[in-house]
Amino acid sequence: MATAITNISSLVTNNPSLGRGPLGLIDDAAVVIDGDRIAWVGTTSKAPATDSHIDAGGRAVLPGFVDSHSHLVFAGDRTAEFNARMEGRAYSAGGIRTTVAATRAASDAELEATVARYVAEALRQGTTTMETKSGYGLTVEDEARALRIAARHTDEVTFLGAHIVAPEYADDPAGYVDLVTGPMLDACAPHARWVDVFCERGAFDGDQARTILTAGAARGLTPRVHANQLGPGPGVQLAVELGAASADHCTHLTDADVDALASGDTVATLLPGAEFSTRARYPDARRLLDAGATVALSTDCNPGSSFTSSMPFCIALAVRDMGMTPDEAVYAATAGGARALRRTDVGRVAEGARADLLLLDAPSHVHLAYRPGVPLASAVWRAGVKVA
């Protein structure tokens, strides 16, 4: 059964051949959903007859958000750590150990409920594609468990056994790399699409990251890298060299890093919730865009350094503090995220794309930045099903 959504004041298609500007904006638009796909896109006056019909009432529609970076398989609470940071203590990668201990102690049912809760929370705000990672287990069994649970709630699952060196290997990081690239990878590769490394001081250096990403790639996992978040480092260059889908964070970049991102296929995924929640310097999106890099925006939803599932919040931060225009930020949160996940079926509104749509309680997508902190998601469709 086909359904037409008509009387859309402004439709973001992310396809310049369909409408105005880089967002391919269509005024007074209509979209026809047939099953789980988009069957037709155009102006309301030319919309074909359909079985059912929804009047958007002069409000805006855009593709569902594609959140390409989150850490939802966790247990425990880090409110006290956040509070301490806001009292002036610095953030380091070490706080991850707190979540590792709580996650190992949690039951499957508790972890499952947490993943389901935050995927649903994101969906209500318009996120229809969400990547999530392991990385709070750090044993063979706990990492494989995290991936199995994640895979029941998203089709974008990332093996992040190399989040930090497991506490048991604090004096033997080489031994931990052997574990990650050996038995842990054996157990985890069947449950994941991606392999990731936290390449940062206090986590894994460039040589260790290369070893782990290369081993993952040999098992069919495509690399993505936590790179250059807390300081300059080799992560971005390594990501581009290995053909990673994405280099995530990109907060501290040299000119050579920016050039590498601009010339390669690796997307620069920016996670402003992390800088917000650690009171750190924001990445310079303007510099990346002006150089010609592809930028994605993502929440980095995790209990330590960015406990938000809100893509609209990240869009508002990117516009206010990272030099992005509202158009660029909305593109990065939809089509940019799709690029970071190498998906062509999401992040755009066109015939044949998955019917993932967000109806805003606003006349334009610009309101996502213009009206920060306001719940603007009026309706959400995922694969043609109205889910919120």
Q: How many residues does the chain have?
A: 388
Which of residues 200 and 300 has its CB atom nearest to Zn ion in the complex?
A: 300
CB of 341 to Zn ion, least distance (A): 14
Q: Is 89 exposed, middle or buried (0-12, 13-18, 19+ CB in 10 A)?
A: exposed
Q: Which of positions 14-73 make contact with Zn ion (CB under 5 A)? A: none
Q: Is 152 exposed, middle or buried (0-12, 13-18, 19+ CB in 10 A)?
A: exposed
What are the C-alpha distances in Å from 378 to residues 129, 186, 363? 18, 43, 12
Number of residues that bind Zn ion (CB under 5 A): 1
Which of residues 96 and 369 has its CB atom nearest to Zn ion in the complex?
A: 96
Which of residues 29 and 72 has its CB atom nearest to Zn ion in the complex?
A: 72
Which of residues 156 and 300 has its CB atom nearest to Zn ion in the complex?
A: 300
CB of 197 to Zn ion, least distance (A): 11
CB of 47 to Zn ion, least distance (A): 42
CB of 180 to Zn ion, least distance (A): 17
Question: Which residue is at the shortest CB distance from Zn ion?
Answer: 300
CB of 264 to Zn ion, least distance (A): 21
Q: What does the per-residue mask of binding to Zn ion show for 291-310, with x meaning CB under 5 A?
A: ---------x----------
Cα 248 from Cα 228, distance rounded (Å): 8
Q: What are phi and psi of 244, to 5 degrees?
A: -60, 150
CB of 69 to Zn ion, least distance (A): 6
Which of residues 24 and 95 has its CB atom nearest to Zn ion in the complex?
A: 95
Which of residues 136 and 381 has its CB atom nearest to Zn ion in the complex?
A: 136
Binding residues (CB under 5 A) for Zn ion: these are 300
